[in-house]
Structure 1
Amino acid sequence: MRDRVAAWDPGLIRLAAGLRTVVSIALTLAVLAALRAPVPLLVAGAIAAMVATFAITEKQPRGQALTLAFGLLVALASVTLGTLLSQYVVAGDLFFVALMFSAVYSRRFGDRGHGLGLIAFQTYFLSLFVHATPALLPKLYGVVAVAFGSAALARFVLLPQTPAGLLNRLRQAFRARLAQLIDTQIELLDAGPEDVEKVLEELRTGTARLHETALLIQGRLEDGTSDEAVARLLQRRVADAEVAAERLGLLLLTARSAERTDTLTLHLPGAQLPSGGELPVRDEAGAELRRDLKALRLLALRPAGEAVGIALAHVRNRLLGYREEENLPQAAPAVQDVFRGLGETARAALGLRLALDGPQDDSEDSPATARSREELEAEDAAIEVSEETEPGGTEPVGLRRPTTRAAVQIAVGSSLAILGGELLSSQRWYWAVLTCWIVFINTASTGEILVKGYRRLLGTVLGVIAGIGLAALVGHHTWTAFALVLLLVFAMFYSAPLSYTLMSFFVTAALGLLYTLLNTYTAAVLVLRIEETALGAACAVIAAAVVLPIRTDRRTNELLVKVLDRLAEVTRAAVDQLSGGSAGDLVEQARELDQALADLRAATQPLTHPITPMRARRNTARYVVALLETCAYHGRSLAATAELLPTHPSIAADPRLRGAGARIVRNIETIAARVADPGTDGEIETGPSIASMLEPGTPRTPRYGRVTDRVLRHLQRLDEAVSGLARPLGLRPETPPAKTR
């Protein structure tokens, strides 16, 4: 159960966010109830405690404490201005617009600026929600102070979270998700023709989740470890394990089919396996393969302290023995490749275990295991003396800066929302403004705002229906209503990263209960909530489409160029090192590629959304992203292999790779130039198949021990995937030269 929870919620980030918010609200309500505060102040305290908790996003406790302290001052000032200006309609509305502009603009100053901007806006909204009056201000100050004190107590005392502790939980989640992926690979062995597509989809999901966890670890390494060498060691070991597990899945898919499975099959939703073959799972080799996959799962999942004795050593020795050709069982070549993949994945799991758990007993090591340990120790030593490269780049200025543009857009959108909201309701117009504000947060294009507004509206409609039912059940039982509010708040924060629609549903249902507590609940009020939400979403879309618009095509093209640039950098550096060039921090470059690809995947959601009417465009976007994920996989694999070059005895530099690598890089740069400027002419350069270097008996066949088959196959697959990108992006292959006598 612990492993399942760790895999479902990596780092327990969602669980911690939900619990911390609920505890903050519960503490605030307990203190205010002891002071016999009236219900409006209880509601204000609950909202303030929630804001004081979710607005703090800094990673270090000291920074969180400073932001919380400054946030209290900002909240008191914002509540004061909201209360006093509510009596002056025009001045209040103008200040509200200016406040939202400043709150969004402050995001350029990092997590602290973002948090203080959220606190300023939400506490101003709080004063409007409870209809605060100047006479109520002294008590409201006390309520806000209690809420921030409760949030500090929950964050730093009752539910503390350190960067090191979070990183440790993320490492546990990586282990758990790796074990789940191996479970799916075991299912692949037994899946019949009618079940294989379902298992293949689960394999895609498991691979994507493992990659997601690796990116989360990457983002926490700097804050979660005090030693830079340890952080870089863990970064490499996680990357090795991820690449090895993904390759093992591809080898299993190939063993099931009559031909080599394209890497794209593992990344493109709906792609089918090549037909015509099936793994002979009932023979002796199939039984050994199933047994060894279960052993690999144990090796990857359990920490050293939970798996002691000679049994684990026996399992480890057997798996690492598959790295030697003489230990492979008698089976078809494709099945033998799977056993080789098992050996490499076991080596990656051993490296991960050493990085996470430290040195272990090696008295039971076989010669193959001892060699693997020596290789890992040599790599560790090489990591410690490597130099880190600093990323470059210039930040946009003026209205081109994303925060400035978003601030101008939200100022225009909120002005429209205020005008329209006043026409719908002079008392609850702020719901339209709140929706406009929320829809703009963490979005960067018109398409993203449109999708987020649609999800907000759908969640609100469903939440209104639930709120009507809950309000009828609760009636005027104050503490029952507050208990349900706490449950809904927990569900809101727990589901927020998974589904924005669900989050909107839970928050709207909670608001229905809060209206009941304030004695302002009617069905008409909740219907008005839907109308104001629709209006606010429409105002946000209009502002995004008219004022300094960033079209979805432009946004995705910018990110696509960034991904292609990162891919070219990784490929160039990896091939250069594999060809005998100088060493570099290839793992870090590969992670920059992965992060750029994650940003592109998020930006294409408006294009790939199920309700989009442009089916051909949706299919093209999915195909391009899947091809880029395939390219990224082969780029990561080349980087990981190049990192082994200084220490691995069976890999040596081969200058002949430089020509093939240069052609691939030129093609990537040609595609990037065409995406950045559609008027640019260019052709994809073709050449002899890299796979031809693997054919025996040809003059170009490399000697054993110089360049492994795996490197050449990764280059070949990368070449094919890059060429595949040309067609959907409007490029064509070069015209072959005419034959001469």
Structure 2
Amino acid sequence: MKAAGRSVRTRLRDRVAASDPGLLRLTAGLRTVGAIALALAVLAVSGADDTHLVAGAMTAMVATFAIREKESRAQAVTVALGLPVALASVSVSALLSSRVVIGDAFFVVLIFCAVFVRRFGDRGTALGLIGFQVYFVSLFVGAEVSALPGLWGAIAVAFVSSAVVRFAVVPATPAGVLQRLRQAFRARLAQLIATQTELLDTGPDGIEKTLEHLRDGTARLHETALMIQSRLEEGTPDESTARLVQRRIADAEIAAERLGLLLLTARSAERADTLTLHLPGAPAPSVGRSPAPGEATEILRRDLGALRTLVLRPPAEARGTALSHLRNRLLGYRDEENLPEATAAVQDVFRGIGETARAVMGLRIALDGPQDESDDTPATTRSREELDAEDAAIDAGEEAAPKEEEPTGLRRPTTRAAVQVSVGSSLAILGGEFLSAERWYWAVLACWIVFLNTASTGEILVKGYRRVLGTMLGVVAGIGLAGLVGGHTWIAFGLVLLLIFAMFYTAPLSYTLMSFFVTAMLGLLYTLLHTYSLSVLLLRVEETALGAACGIVAAALVLPIRTDRRTNELLGTVLERLTDVTEGAVDQLSGGPAADLLDTARELDQALGDLRAATQPLTHPITPLRARRDTARYVVALLETCAYHARSLAATAELLPAHPSIAADPRLRGAVRRTVRNIEAIAARVADEDAGTEVETGPSIASLLAPDAAGVPRYGRITGRVLRHLERLDEAVMGLARPLGVPVRTPTR
């Protein structure tokens, strides 16, 4: 029964870890709610009135969510600096409360400064956000000079409460967050393997749904890998450990994605296209009926289940011969003599299982330390020796890449955004005053928020639409909750805490949901301040729509960054990083000097993530430009396919120094030249539409894989795998030419 209980707890823990990697959303929600609850408790005991309770609750929320630094020491410094900034902000607001014109002018200057200081990183962003939001809180509660002592006390209590909850009640160290992200990676990897197992039993009618789950699982695993990469520097004791974990995470991700492709190929009549795993709605390959029960199919199903167990089993439960037996059997498939009798495609799947098992073992060693070796078979020992050789070859002494020169003046993104949001806020103040002389600041808040974490006019437009939609739905909820609560102060505060938790827990998932919970919460706050009415909530919708419109107008007319321009810049960066990874990997595989391919591949992933986010306005469901939406999705999917093959090439090249069995092959340089020239031609056309560049076709790289006249393969297995990746990469690059309008030239003989 104890074992069953542990199993249930383990499954529940894995499910939670997979749904919220690193428990980041849960931590944010608990911290914010805890800080507000503690501040309310202290203020209530001290006899504060409802106005001070609301001010303290809102300030505690701001002091918690504004600080995003990863290290505890840096967070403590920012909290300490944030308190005087908040006190100064509320004091100036109270002093200017009777001077409308001067107060509005100062508010605009404060908004400019709050955005401008983002150039100084997380701390500058946090202090600017605190200054703006506390000024807004003072407007919300109607701060006056006579009430300043009480407000100072409420703000101080809020900051102290936020610090206590952050550092004592709900602490989150970089190492702890990284540990939870590792668990999330394992859980999502296990979920992906379970989805891949479904391919064995999926018939023609269910292949589309299974493929959709496979795409989601692959994307979620990659998302977690990127989250881990972004926290390795702070969460590991040294650079060598960080590089080791990064390498093992990349190996496991590549092996899992390759296993899915091999399974899909085994079920279809031809080799599966990598694009199928990245393009939503891509046509599924033709598959027959579910294979009849046979020995190979049953072994395959059994071993996929064993692989999932190997991924999920925690270190404390990994001792004993049972798990060792599973591990040894799966690693044995790396040797040809251990492959079951089956078709060539199915045997490839078994090889893929063996390679994935090796990647999982390397991941376990990197994350959990040395493992029990007493039950190792020769195949397992060989895999361990390979992993040890790779670990020893990791060089922590790589020189840091030189920093790129940052733009200055109005070309600097923070300066441009500061000017835009200042102009938009000025328009929002003027329009808001016409709607309501008392609550005009809602329009300013809406204008401010639509500029947060956006970089183009299209992103601001989409965010403004979501803000208005969430606000309208929240008004309906606020009306209902305010009617239910009535004059019950503490019930209202309890619901406020629940809504705030929901707001922070859903914020990374849906901006519309977050806006919904914010507006419903504000309805309850108005009830607490005895200013609630239906007209007030309807006014909030009007002010929100006005503020969003002002933000969109400012973004479109003042130093605009068109969505096309931003996506083209990011697309050029992706193509440049793709060239770096491909050339570096093939050069190393051809006998060139070792390069830092891990960091180069990471830069490619980051650039692709930025491009994916920037194309959201183009791919949004409400966009009227359907053809443009489909083109954007297709281009991003092709680039994700290119990135997968480039990562695979980089991972193979990283093996070269540590594996005597893998020899450099100088012939690979010739196979990649045309592909690199084509990538550069596409990049030049993206940067300048008038550039007269063309992509060049030629003999397929697959033709290099054909055996010679005697039927003997011209290349070894590793070189053959590299050429297959190059073939798929070349095909994907050629596929990019058509939607991007690059002419294709066929060379004459």
| TM-score, normalised via structure 1 length | 0.98
Aligned positions of 1:136-175 closer than 5 A: 136-175=147-186
Aligned positions of 1:90-239 closer than 5 A: 90-239=101-250
CA contact (8 A) 1:650 1:705 kept: no
Paired position in structure 2 for 1:504? 515
Q: Return the offset for 1:304.
A: 2.1
Q: Return the offset for 1:33.
A: 0.5
Q: Return the offset for 1:385.
A: 5.8
- Residue 615 (1) aligns with residue 626 (2): yes
SS in 2 for 1:519: coil
Alpha-carbon distance in structure 2 between the residues aligned to 1:519 and 1:465: 19
Q: Return the offset for 1:689.
A: 1.4
Paired position in structure 1 for 2:552? 541
Paired position in structure 2 for 1:434? 445
CA contact (8 A) 2:54 2:525 kept: yes
Question: In 2 relative to 1, CA 388–242 (structure 1 residues): closer, same or farther, beyond 3 Å?
Answer: farther
Paired AA for residue 560 in structure 1: L
Q: Return the offset for 1:31.
A: 0.3
Alpha-carbon distance in structure 2 between the residues aligned to 1:699 and 1:142: 88
Q: Return the offset for 1:666.
A: 1.2
Of 663-672 and 551-560, more deviation after overlay is shown by: 663-672
CA contact (8 A) 2:705 2:715 kept: no
Paired position in structure 1 for 2:4? none
Alpha-carbon distance in structure 1 between the residues aligned to 2:481 and 2:313: 45
- Residue 642 (1) aligns with residue 653 (2): yes
Q: Which of 13, 18, 39 is matched with 1:28 structurally?
A: 39
CA contact (8 A) 1:389 1:585 kept: no
**Per-residue CA distance 1:452-502 (angstroms, 9 max, x = gap):** 000000000000000000000000100000000000000000000000000
CA contact (8 A) 1:410 1:440 kept: yes
CA contact (8 A) 1:281 1:287 kept: no
Question: In 2 relative to 1, CA 699–96 (structure 1 residues): closer, same or farther, beyond 3 Å?
Answer: farther
Alpha-carbon distance in structure 2 between the residues aligned to 1:389 and 1:578: 23
Q: Which of 30, 37, 41 is matched with 2:52 structurally?
A: 41
SS in 2 for 1:232: helix
Q: Return the offset for 1:278.
A: 5.0
Paired position in structure 2 for 1:80? 91
- The number of residue pairs the alignment matches comes to 738
Q: Return the offset for 1:386.
A: 5.8
Paired position in structure 2 for 1:298? 309
Question: In 2 relative to 1, CA 563–701 (structure 1 residues): closer, same or farther, beyond 3 Å?
Answer: farther
Q: Which of 417, 439, 454 is matched with 1:443 structurally?
A: 454
Q: Return the offset for 1:709.
A: 2.0
Q: Return the offset for 1:699.
A: 9.4
Alpha-carbon distance in structure 1 between the residues aligned to 2:415 and 2:588: 42
Of 365-374 and 299-308, more deviation after overlay is shown by: 299-308
Q: Return the offset for 1:277.
A: 3.6
Paired position in structure 2 for 1:340? 351
Paired position in structure 2 for 1:70? 81
CA contact (8 A) 2:665 2:719 kept: no
Aligned positions of 1:383-462 closer than 5 A: 383-384=394-395, 387-462=398-473
Paired AA for residue 74 in structure 1: V
Q: Return the offset for 1:389.
A: 4.5
- Residue 16 (1) aligns with residue 27 (2): yes
Q: Return the offset for 1:388.
A: 4.5
CA contact (8 A) 2:696 2:747 kept: no
Q: Return the offset for 1:157.
A: 0.7
SS in 1 for 2:283: coil
Alpha-carbon distance in structure 2 between the residues aligned to 1:232 and 1:57: 24
**Per-residue CA distance 1:42-95 (angstroms, 9 max, x = gap):** 000000000000011111111100000000000000000111112101000000
Alpha-carbon distance in structure 2 between the residues aligned to 1:325 and 1:375: 18
Alpha-carbon distance in structure 1 between the residues aligned to 2:13 and 2:399: 36
Q: Return the offset for 1:104.
A: 0.4
CA contact (8 A) 2:204 2:288 kept: no
CA contact (8 A) 1:653 1:707 kept: no
Question: In 2 relative to 1, CA 698–657 (structure 1 residues): closer, same or farther, beyond 3 Å?
Answer: farther
CA contact (8 A) 2:698 2:747 kept: no
Alpha-carbon distance in structure 2 between the residues aligned to 1:140 and 1:614: 51
Q: Return the offset for 1:687.
A: 2.5
Structure 1 residues not aligned, in runs of 5+: none
Alpha-carbon distance in structure 2 between the residues aligned to 1:701 and 1:395: 54
Paired position in structure 2 for 1:268? 279
Q: Return the offset for 1:143.
A: 0.3
Q: Return the offset for 1:702.
A: 5.8
| TM-score, normalised via structure 2 length | 0.97
Alpha-carbon distance in structure 2 between the residues aligned to 1:464 and 1:702: 70
SS in 2 for 1:390: coil
Q: Which of 339, 343, 359 is matched with 1:328 structurally?
A: 339
**Per-residue CA distance 1:569-607 (angstroms, 9 max, x = gap):** 000100100110000111111111001000000000000
Alpha-carbon distance in structure 2 between the residues aligned to 1:705 and 1:371: 19
SS in 2 for 1:189: coil
Paired position in structure 1 for 2:494? 483
Alpha-carbon distance in structure 2 between the residues aligned to 1:389 and 1:692: 40
Paired position in structure 2 for 1:713? 724
Alpha-carbon distance in structure 1 between the residues aligned to 2:512 and 2:164: 31
CA contact (8 A) 2:268 2:286 kept: yes
Alpha-carbon distance in structure 1 between the residues aligned to 2:31 and 2:710: 66
CA contact (8 A) 1:221 1:231 kept: yes
**Per-residue CA distance 1:112-163 (angstroms, 9 max, x = gap):** 0000000000000010000011110001000000000000000001111110
**Per-residue CA distance 1:387-408 (angstroms, 9 max, x = gap):** 2441542111110000000000
CA contact (8 A) 1:652 1:705 kept: no
Q: Which of 572, 586, 595 is matched with 1:584 structurally?
A: 595
Alpha-carbon distance in structure 1 between the residues aligned to 2:739 and 2:531: 56
Q: Which of 556, 566, 570 is matched with 1:559 structurally?
A: 570
CA contact (8 A) 1:579 1:655 kept: yes
Alpha-carbon distance in structure 2 between the residues aligned to 1:12 and 1:118: 24
Of 180-189 and 115-124, more deviation after overlay is shown by: 180-189
CA contact (8 A) 1:257 1:273 kept: no
Q: Return the offset for 1:683.
A: 1.0
Q: Return the offset for 1:651.
A: 2.0
CA contact (8 A) 2:26 2:505 kept: yes
**Per-residue CA distance 1:648-668 (angstroms, 9 max, x = gap):** 243211111101212211111
Alpha-carbon distance in structure 2 between the residues aligned to 1:106 and 1:26: 31
**Per-residue CA distance 1:619-674 (angstroms, 9 max, x = gap):** 00000000000000000000000000112243211111101212211111110110
Paired AA for residue 514 in structure 1: L
CA contact (8 A) 2:112 2:422 kept: yes
Structure 2 residues not aligned, in runs of 5+: 1-11
- Residue 374 (1) aligns with residue 385 (2): yes
- Residue 606 (1) aligns with residue 646 (2): no
Question: In 2 relative to 1, CA 277–692 (structure 1 residues): closer, same or farther, beyond 3 Å?
Answer: farther
Alpha-carbon distance in structure 2 between the residues aligned to 1:704 and 1:459: 59
Q: Return the offset for 1:361.
A: 1.1
Paired AA for residue 108 in structure 2: V
CA contact (8 A) 1:25 1:486 kept: yes
State the identity as a percent. 74
CA contact (8 A) 2:204 2:287 kept: no
SS in 1 for 2:197: helix
- Residue 465 (1) aligns with residue 476 (2): yes
Paired AA for residue 201 in structure 2: D
Of 23-32 and 78-87, more deviation after overlay is shown by: 78-87
Paired AA for residue 424 in structure 1: L
Alpha-carbon distance in structure 1 between the residues aligned to 2:618 and 2:30: 35
